[in-house]
Structure 1
Amino acid sequence: MAGTATSLPRLSAQECEVWMRELSFAQSVADHDTAAFEQHVDERAAFASSRTEPQRGRAHIVRQWATLIAGTPVKLAWYPTRVTMGGRPDMAWSSGPALYEDTTPGAKERYHLGAFNSVWSRGEDGVWRVMFDDGIRPVPATLAQVDAFRAGRRDCTSLTSP
């Protein structure tokens, strides 16, 4: 799922900003930091965007994500492998793999891999926040796939176009 050396994107400086913001968003969950998570979500956001009943609004999304942010019973990790901007300098799309770890003692299928897609919007304050977020249903993962996921995380400095 993660990009390989031959498929890594070239990013503009603005795309790199979004890449780093996505990493910061994931770090808020890794750190179990609800306040930081909240600051990454647009006030008018919609998560689970493709579902019949998306999660709407920052406060509702934060409540719905409370157990994922707490990391119990499932730890969630993700990182971008793509960021793309079109003709608007205030909107960007990001995607990448997501790893779910069931922390329940004796869990039969401990790891699952999925993927995410997010749309970012830069506010009038210049801060990038997630406006839309969705993912694909995770499937059981082998330890080799988990290792590949963990080895695939990159920062964007080596991907930025000159």
Structure 2
Amino acid sequence: MDAAPRLSAEECAVWARELGFARALAEHDAAAFAAFVHPQAAFGAGQPQPTRGREAIAAQWADLIAGKRLRLRWYPQRVTVAGVGDVAWSTGPALYQRIDPGAQPRYLIGQYQSVWRRDTDGVWRVLFDDGIAPRPATEAEAMAFERGRREDCPRR
């Protein structure tokens, strides 16, 4: 298993923002979700046609935010701040759960990668987001995902 990261105060600030971003989605709060997204963000950044701009991203994610058919959860495992302290990279697992009780597979698991930028107002916002396409996951893998979540940032 990988050694646990030891993060700086700035990296922990991004860790907290990542958790807040995920919480906004889990709480079905479209306005809060959009506030985490940089106005000129690109989601699906590795795709031939990424979704560009906060409004377009919020519209594309509306069904996920509503959470009526699919529930998405994620959390950070690694955060790195670089440059002059205004760019950060974050990654961790992402778990999709189909809401329909008869859905098969019920769970899908993937990995996300986000690039954050500290804006002139000092707030970290997601600038780029993408991930590894999810694959079917077992109930045991879904429970391992839940056990792996940590709210506290592993500080240096």
Q: Normalising to structure 1: TM-score of the pair? A: 0.93
Equivalent position to 2:59, from 26, 51, 63: 63
The Cα of 1:125 is off from its aligned counterpart by: 0.6
The Cα of 1:156 is off from its aligned counterpart by: 3.6
Residue number in structure 2 paired with 1:119: 115
> What amino acid is aligned across from residue 150 of structure 1 in structure 2?
E
Q: Distance in 1 between matches of 2:3 and 2:150?
A: 13
CA displacement 1:89-122 (0-9 Å, x = unmatched) = 1110000000000112310210000010000000
Residues 143 and 105 of structure 1: CA distance in aligned 2, closer, same or farther (over 3 Å): closer
Secondary structure in 2 aligned to 1:10? Answer: coil
The Cα of 1:87 is off from its aligned counterpart by: 2.9
Residue number in structure 1 paired with 2:87: 91
Residue number in structure 2 paired with 1:38: 34
Regions of 4+ moved over 4 Å: none
Q: Distance in 2 between matches of 1:21 and 1:31?
A: 15
Gaps of 5+ in 2: none
Tell me if 1:100 matches 2:96.
Answer: yes
> What amino acid is aligned across from residue 126 of structure 1 in structure 2?
G
Equivalent position to 2:46, from 36, 43, 50: 50
Residue number in structure 1 paired with 2:7: 11
CA displacement 1:51-82 (0-9 Å, x = unmatched) = 01100000000000000101121000000000
CA displacement 1:107-141 (0-9 Å, x = unmatched) = 02100000100000001111100000001110011
Q: Distance in 1 between matches of 2:147 and 2:63?
A: 26
Q: % of aligned pairs identical? A: 54
CA contact (8 A) 1:109 1:140 kept: yes
Residue number in structure 2 paired with 1:80: 76
Secondary structure in 2 aligned to 1:85? Answer: strand
Of 96-105 and 27-36, the range deviating more from structure 2: 96-105
CA contact (8 A) 1:11 1:156 kept: no
CA contact (8 A) 1:86 1:92 kept: yes
Q: Normalising to structure 2: TM-score of the pair? A: 0.97
CA contact (8 A) 1:95 1:115 kept: yes
Q: Distance in 2 between matches of 1:156 and 1:83?
A: 13
Equivalent position to 1:146, from 132, 142, 148: 142
The Cα of 1:31 is off from its aligned counterpart by: 0.1
Residue number in structure 2 paired with 1:160: 155
Q: Distance in 1 between matches of 2:38 and 2:155?
A: 26
Secondary structure in 1 aligned to 2:17? Answer: helix
What is the aligned residue count?
156
* CA RMSD of superposed structures (Å): 1.0
Q: Distance in 2 between matches of 1:139 and 1:41?
A: 26
